[in-house]
Amino acid sequence: MSKLLLMLLCSASLLIPRLASANIVFNGGFELGDVTGWILSGNPVPGNVDGSSPHSGDFAANLFAATNPGFIEQVLATTPGTVYKLTYFLESDGQTPNRFLTQVNGATLFDQTDIPVQPYTLHSSSFTATGASTDLKFGFRNDPGMLRLDDIAVDAIPEPSVIGFLIVLALLIFATRTAPAMRIAKHYVPRPAMNKRIGRVMLSLVCLPLAVAATLAQATTPTSRPNILFIIMDDVGIDQMRSFGYGGVTPPATPVVDVVAQHGIRFRNTWGMPECSPSRAMFFEGRYPLRTNIFTAILTIDLANSQVSPFEITTPKILKNANYTSALFGKFHLAGPTNNPYGNGTPNSVGFDYFDGFLEGAPHPIDTTAGGVGRTGGSDAFPTGIYGCGFVPGRNDDPAHGSDKGACYFADQRACKIIEASSSVPAPGRLCLEQGGVFVPAKPEDDKCHATAPSEVNFNLANGYYVFNLVTNDLQAGTVYKHPLIDPRARTYSPIETTNAAVSWINSRPSGQRWMATVSYAAIHAPYQQAPQSLTPSTSDLSGVQCTGGTAEDTRTLSNQMLEAMDSQIGRLLVETGVASRQPDGSLQYDPTRSNTMVVIIGDNGTYSPSVKAPFDPTHAKGFVNQTGVWIPLLVAGPLVNTPDRNVEHMINVADLFQLFGEIAGLDVRALVPSSRILDSVSMLPYLTNPAQASLRTYSFTQTGNNISAHG
């Protein structure tokens, strides 16, 4: 009986944390002295925090809103199916009209108008969580007085089975501790009994640390805010996207993005800036170009005055307040490397813990010599040649200069190999490029591999999407490394390499470490160049399509394929990081509630003119402040979205993402950014949690101009 009792006691000790659940509201007593962790919206400046009349501790929230209601809300990390108890203390000065309401995921739990004078009064209600996140929202109005709110708490209610188990256990303890306890006190205890006693004590000592450790783990585990996966598509305007009802006569096939759109919110009225750098700076700063001097795409002649400053409060710096680690992969284009003291280390300087990608605004021009083998002129630094797409085409596509057989040489230790044309390989030169090599066409007198590459082969020429300047920053290691062009990673199709790096970093995050990964694809920025055929197996072979000097139809065909290839990599990114999975037929299976990750997908500006889809205006596209130049797709999906598969038609500006990222992390960006740095962002979280949310913007804004450059 005693052994059974001790075993039950040990089991019960592991249930203690389920009874002693921690308050999941962050800064519920406002003891940080501000509204950190809370999101304020509605009436301008709807409240503050001071120490004049707290219920407990040193601070309380003062709620005042004239004419229009104000709101204070927080997204809580909850367990689906768990019952939670909400408590808070409310004080009213009795001045009318006033109103106070409490909502959970839009459902009203309490609503009272003209509350009379009352001291702090306890309010309590319960709710059952329906997802991994729950929106707790308080609305208020008090004109001309104020309401005071303090000591907000949300705690899980223990399951009845746990309580029942402990009651039974208590009865067992009582039954076994009466008479036997008196006998032990009166009589000598023989050694065997003493050994049993020691065993019981030892078992109790084992159980107690287990209970304490479990309780401490419960108490010290931070609220589980969602991770953030931010995906940027380059030069992709809303005109490209069939999930938004556009795409022209032949819309690109984007099954992955379409699935995310079906499980999230389609923001259909989003404006960016006309070019990439200003939009990207606004993602992470929340400030219009007129405040940052980043008016247009950053070029090598632009001074640091028109680059993101290391003194700006950027998103990765903001998120550190909630213990997030941040990384960016692919295209950077926010600062450097020229005219900047941080050079290739600019990603770390503006707050990113890790960076792996290229700093420039676009892939380098296509190497028309295809690695030196087709050079016809130019300088050694900028040679010119006969291969417009950067690879040696097949004979069917170019009878004069093409080749159906040749040697593929590699810059690393891989051995040269012979590649011949076949039904599955119409252009051996293209396949060689996709594998990171340089293709040397066979000659009648020489159709074999040699120990070393021929003298004309040049592995140090950048080539569009296939050979690029790869830079890695690792803040923790204190390293900045520019990979040579002979590095196999720098000779991998850019969107594939971007995905590889992002997957590796995300999957290496320690358990419990919150993260934000910005995955910034180069596609579909010029130059237009064939993506690997393996990424778009259902499309016809495009090896013969002209990349430069071709027809408008050639350009649109390549643009479509590049976007479809990027879509395939977005799918791989989601699957290999566990955010999504594959159906038996290979299609994407995405359930936002199964991953604690918010997915945000956006284009940075309008589409570049040659790729613009009807009925949009290609003469006023990227680079112009007209609608085609600034109207971009924006998708948001994940556990914070209430009622997915819907459109939001209200105005959104790219500056608003800065506030959204803070809101996802439970942070008030306006409380963390100095007032001297004027923010232009507007809250977005209410659109996620409330399908009936009215517009929060009264206007939108876009701008272009000239950066401050070394040329004046």
Q: Which tens digits make up the pLDDT trace of 342-366?
A: 999 999 999 999 999 999 999 999 9
Distance (Å, rounded) from C-alpha 160 to C-alpha 156?
A: 12
Distance (Å, rounded) from C-alpha 660 to C-alpha 506?
A: 21
273-325, pLDDT tens digit by residue?
999 999 999 999 999 999 999 999 999 999 999 999 999 999 999 999 999 99
Residue 93 above 70 pLDDT? Answer: yes
> For residue 302, what is the DSSP state?
B
Per the CATH hierarchy, to which homologous superfamily does domain 22-156 belong?
Answer: Galactose-binding domain-like (2.60.120.260)
pLDDT tier for residue 43 given thresholds of 50, 70 and 90: low
Q: What value does the mean pLDDT of the chain take?
A: 88
Residue whose entry in the numeric block shows the structure tokens 């022209």: 248
pLDDT tier for residue 203 given thresholds of 50, 70 and 90: very low
Residue 640 above 90 pLDDT? Answer: yes
Task: Give the per-residue pLDDT at 21.
Answer: 56
Task: Give the per-residue pLDDT at 188.
Answer: 34
Sequence-ordered list of residues with C-beta below 8 angstroms from that of 551, at least 6 positions apart, any chain: none
456-505, pLDDT tens digit by residue?
999 999 999 999 999 999 999 999 999 999 999 999 999 999 999 999 99
**133-141: average pLDDT:** 88
**384-396: average pLDDT:** 97
Least confident of 11-20, 320-329, 399-408: 11-20
Percent of the chain with pLDDT strictly greater than 90:
70
Q: Count helices and strands (H / E) in the chain.
A: 17, 28
Residue whose entry in the numeric block shows the structure tokens 């690695």: 371
More confident residue, 436 or 81: 436
Percent of the chain with pLDDT strictly greater than 70:
87
pLDDT tier for residue 577 given thresholds of 50, 70 and 90: very high
Question: 455 — phi, psi (to 5°)?
Answer: -65, -30
> For residue 467, what is the DSSP state?
B
- Tell me the pTM: 0.73
Classify domain 227-364+468-525+597-689 by CATH architecture.
3-Layer(aba) Sandwich (3.40)
Domain boundaries, the chain: 2-16+159-220, 22-156, 227-364+468-525+597-689, 365-463
332-564-273 Cα angle (round to 5)? 40
Distance (Å, rounded) from C-alpha 531 to C-alpha 247?
A: 19
What residue spans of 402-449 are helical by DSSP H? 428-434
**192-205: average pLDDT:** 41
